[in-house]
């Protein structure tokens, strides 16, 4: 059984809720044997990552590893496209960078939803 929820609240309270939930075990029949199963809490999170425009290619390479960040599940692609439209953002453009910042990304699927430019002040400063 898969239950999908959205949380909203103070981060440490949400983190505690998740920590306590994933610490629960339920009885489970596995191959005819009585067993227990840890409740799996798998976050599906939307993040906005903000950085100066001049570092766009480096950040895209760092986060998306040189690819497009497209979801591995073909049936999810229509939802990513819909989400992009709802958020009013553009598809991630092609980018090139030799540089890549070191970040831990093991065991994580990173889906690139889209990108948008910041507004700029009259003096040309980005409204990050």
Residue 59 burial by Cβ neighbours in a 10 Å radius (0-12, 13-18, 19+): buried
pLDDT at position 35 is: 95
Q: Is the pTM of this model over 0.85?
A: no
CA distance 73 to 70: 9
| Res 76: pLDDT | 83
- Could you tell me the CA-to-CA distances from 70 to 83, 99, 117 in Å, in that order? 13, 21, 20
Q: What is the pLDDT of residue 57?
A: 93
Residue 126 CA to residue 128 CA, distance in Å, equals: 5
pLDDT mean values, one per 10 residues, the chain (128 residues)? 80 93 93 94 89 92 78 82 92 88 86 89 84
């Amino acid at each position: 059984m898969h239950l999908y929820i959205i949380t909203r609240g103070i981060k440490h309270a949400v983190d505690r809720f998740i920590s306590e939930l994933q610490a629960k075990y339920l009885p489970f029949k596995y191959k005819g044997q009585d067993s227990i199963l840890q409740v799996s809490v798998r976050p599906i999170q939307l993040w906005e990552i903000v950085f100066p425009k001049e570092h766009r290619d480096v950040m895209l390479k760092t986060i998306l590893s040189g690819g497009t960040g497209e979801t591995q599940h073909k049936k999810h692609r229509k939802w990513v496209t819909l989400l992009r439209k709802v958020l009013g953002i553009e598809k991630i453009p092609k980018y090139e960078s030799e540089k890549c910042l070191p970040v831990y990304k093991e065991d994580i699927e990173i889906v690139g939803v889209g990108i948008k430019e910041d507004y700029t002040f009259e003096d040309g400063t980005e409204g990050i």
